[in-house]
Amino acid sequence: MDGKPSACYAFDPLMQRKAPAKINLSLAIKGKRPDGFHELESLMVPLTLADTLSLEKAPGLTFACSDPSLPCDDSNLVVRAARRFFETLKAAPSIHIHLEKAIPHGAGLGGGSSDAANTLLALNELFAAPLSPETIHALAAELGSDVPFFLAGGAAFCRGRGEIVEPVVFSQKIPLLLIKPAFGVPTPWAYSRWKDSREIPEVPYGPQSFSWGTLVNDLERPVFEKHLFLPTLKRWLLRQPETAGALMSGSGSTSFAVLREETGGPALQARVKEEFGDVWTCLCQTETKFPG
């Protein structure tokens, strides 16, 4: 990297952009592709929970993050996105980016992918849109399977390995409680175990139907086999009076409860803490469009 990143870097941002989390309301795996990825179909929706990107034109490329556990080098998706933007533009990097994290990483909430996608969008806006939407989409697909979703502007049905994005109308603001244990789940690992995984007896894996769609996630099977905390949590959530449905998001480790009423969220959140101890929780809603 150019320059020395610092989590304490202070500046007046020229631009700020929200990078929302997502959940997978449905995730079906159709099989393994010749390129090694898995063919999937997933309905993804953005959340009110979001990271914040602040960008300022500056010499070189520097990056800082509020979460000291995240790398600030070229392994970070924000840095990789910024480098690819300037490489595609055939221009020397000239940006400082600060990332304020609210979305936990390794959570199945798409935080890193959202940060990367919104870095591309913010840079293109800041530098007067030199790259076409098609080029931005190609860069996003290169960076990761979930990254193109965050260019869609709202809910979308994603196919292929995730890079085929079909925006859909999703007007519901569903109240949610997100719960993430201390551990994360590597996405490649979850997909690699899918084919040979088995269901745990008495754990509900079947579809949960609502007026707005169906909750189901094929990756619960392999992840639940390894991390028994997660099926225990799901079964517990489904027994609670405030909960209309419960599911693991993406490859985990975050699970979410669909609340019957938004007002019931704080009581359920408190009981989760009492029952399961050291877990991250967040009350939020689905978004009808991205808070860009």
CATH of the domain at 39: 3.30.230.10
On whether both 24 and 143 belong to a single domain, the answer is yes
On whether both 209 and 251 belong to a single domain, the answer is yes
- Read off the CATH number of the domain in which 234 is found: 3.30.70.890
What are the beta bridge partners of residue 259?
Answer: 243
pLDDT in tens for each of the 292 residues of the chain? 444 333 334 445 689 999 999 999 999 998 777 776 778 899 999 999 999 999 999 999 999 999 998 989 999 999 999 999 999 999 999 999 999 999 998 899 999 999 999 999 999 999 988 999 999 999 999 999 899 999 988 999 999 877 889 999 999 999 999 999 999 999 889 999 998 999 999 999 999 999 999 999 999 999 999 999 999 999 999 999 999 999 999 999 999 999 999 999 999 999 999 999 989 999 999 997 654 4
Q: Alpha-carbon distance 190 to 202, whole Å?
A: 21
Q: What is the reported pTM?
A: 0.90
Enter the DSSP assignment of 127.
T
Range of 183's domain? Answer: 175-285
On whether both 88 and 146 belong to a single domain, the answer is yes
Query: CA torsion sign, 111 to 113 to 119 to 125?
Result: negative
Beta strands at 213-217 and 15-32: parallel, antiparallel or unpaired: parallel
Catalytic position from the list 18, 22, 180, 234: 22
Instruction: State the virtual CA torsion across 19, 25, 30, 35 in degrees, nearest 10.
Output: 10
Domain count, the chain: 2
Is 86 contained in some domain?
Answer: yes
Of 167, 200, 231, the residue that ends a domain is 167
Q: Tell me phi and psi for residue 286, to 5 degrees.
A: -70, 150
On whether both 159 and 226 belong to a single domain, the answer is no
Cis peptide, bond prior to residue 253, ω within 30 of zero: yes
Of 123, 139, 167, the residue that ends a domain is 167
On whether both 89 and 37 belong to a single domain, the answer is yes
On whether both 201 and 219 belong to a single domain, the answer is yes
On whether both 44 and 107 belong to a single domain, the answer is yes
Helix (H, G, I), strand (E, B) or coil at 231: helix
Beta strands at 208-210 and 94-100: parallel, antiparallel or unpaired: unpaired
Catalytic position from the list 18, 51, 115, 146: 146
Of 118, 134, 167, the residue that ends a domain is 167
Q: Alpha-carbon distance 288 to 144, whole Å?
A: 23
Q: Tell me phi and psi for residue 17, to 5 degrees.
A: -145, 135
On whether both 116 and 221 belong to a single domain, the answer is no
On whether both 106 and 247 belong to a single domain, the answer is no
On whether both 135 and 191 belong to a single domain, the answer is no
pLDDT tens figures, 191-229: 999 989 999 999 999 999 999 999 999 999 999 999 999
Report, in this order, helix, strand and coil percent for the chain, each rounded to 5.
Answer: 30, 30, 40
On whether both 41 and 134 belong to a single domain, the answer is yes
CB 4 within 8 A of CB 62: yes
On whether both 139 and 181 belong to a single domain, the answer is no
Is residue 289 among the annotated active site residues? no
Q: Alpha-carbon distance 186 to 251, whole Å?
A: 7
Write the DSSP string, 246-259.
EEE-TTSS-EEEEE
Is residue 146 among the annotated active site residues? yes
Is 6 contained in some domain?
Answer: no
pLDDT tens figures, 94-104: 999 999 999 99
Amino acid at site 144: G
